[in-house]
Structure 1
């Protein structure tokens, strides 16, 4: 599984691919210089239950740590993961 982050203007996304097949995408917006908003997660049905959403989230969390950003998870999936996973709460926007 390959996970990459791409940004353009004030939007960005993490995309997961497996043998050139899109496994999933997590999108975010950049409203300010100190935080991002995760607004949508979509996983290809054939990859459901394989941890794709979590891999996408961890890629964005790693990017946020590198850039010293906080994350506001408006996406229901990302929000649920932030409530469940203690190891990513350091980037949660309060």
Structure 2
């Protein structure tokens, strides 16, 4: 199974593709040059319960870190993921 997380900037969302099929996404609103406000995460029902949501958020946060950005996790799924994975806590914007 091939998995890829990529930023679809035109749609303002990070997408996870499994075997070239869209399996889920995490939508954001850009704020300034390097802050992304994440508002909603959705996983296709066919892929739920298989760790796809966690893989999507991990891939998203890794890419945000690589580009030197920060996040505002308004999405409850992303906020819960960061709470459970404190290695990503430094990516949360201090003053959203």
TM-score in terms of structure 1 length: 0.86
How far residue 2 of structure 1 moved from its aligned partner, in angstroms, is: 2.1
The CA deviation string for residues 20-76 of structure 1, in whole angstroms up to 9 with x for no partner, is 322111111111113111111000111111111111112221221122111100011
Q: Does the aligned pair in 2 maintain the 1:5–1:59 contact within 8 Å?
A: no
User: Does 1:64 pair with 2:64?
Assistant: yes
How far residue 78 of structure 1 moved from its aligned partner, in angstroms, is: 0.5
SS of the equivalent of 2:32 reads coil
Matches within 5 A, 1:1-94: 1-8=3-10, 12-94=12-94
Unaligned runs of 5+ in 1: none
Aligned length: 92
SS of the equivalent of 1:28 reads strand
TM-score in terms of structure 2 length: 0.84
SS of the equivalent of 1:30 reads strand
Q: Does the aligned pair in 1 maintain the 2:36–2:70 contact within 8 Å?
A: yes
SS of the equivalent of 2:36 reads strand
